[in-house]
Amino acid sequence: MLEQIKNLKRENQDLRDLLQDVHLMVIGKSKSDFGLMEQEIAAKVSSIAGGKKYNALEWQFGDINGEQGR
């Protein structure tokens, strides 16, 4: 059981490292070319890879009090 936990922790760290690499190489270089959905996904990836807090309210564009958000 302890060995399984150890393996899962190692896999988790490997995935976080890979995500950080993807964030730096792919998202960091072409973020300006992204549409709105891609920018939201990039924000989610940044929150995990970079330790930034993801705020879902920043990406809410619904009708608020009869007025269009952003």
- Count of the separate structural domains present in the chain: 1
Residue 70 lies inside a defined structural domain of this protein: no
Single pTM value for the model = 0.57
Using CA atoms, how far apart are residues 11 and 24, in angstroms rounded to an integer? 20
Tell whether 66 is covered by a domain. no
Q: Does residue 35 form part of some domain? A: yes
Name the DSSP class of 21.
H
Q: How many residues does the structure list for the chain?
A: 70
Q: Is residue 52 part of a domain?
A: yes
DSSP 8-class letter at 1: -
pLDDT of residue 65: 64
Q: Is residue 57 part of a domain?
A: yes
Tens digits of per-residue pLDDT, 20-69? 888 888 777 776 777 888 888 888 888 887 777 888 878 777 666 666 55
With vertex at residue 30, the alpha carbon angle to CA 26 and CA 33, rounded to the nearest 5 degrees, is: 140
Query: Residue 7: inside a domain, yes or no?
Result: yes
Residue at 69 is within a domain: no
Question: What pLDDT is attached to residue 3?
Answer: 95
Using the structure block, give the residue that is written with the tokens 């964030």: 23
Start-end of H helices in the chain: 2-22, 28-30, 36-49
Provide the residue range defining the domain that includes 8.
2-61
Is residue 11 over pLDDT 80? yes
6 band by pLDDT with thresholds 50, 70 and 90: very high
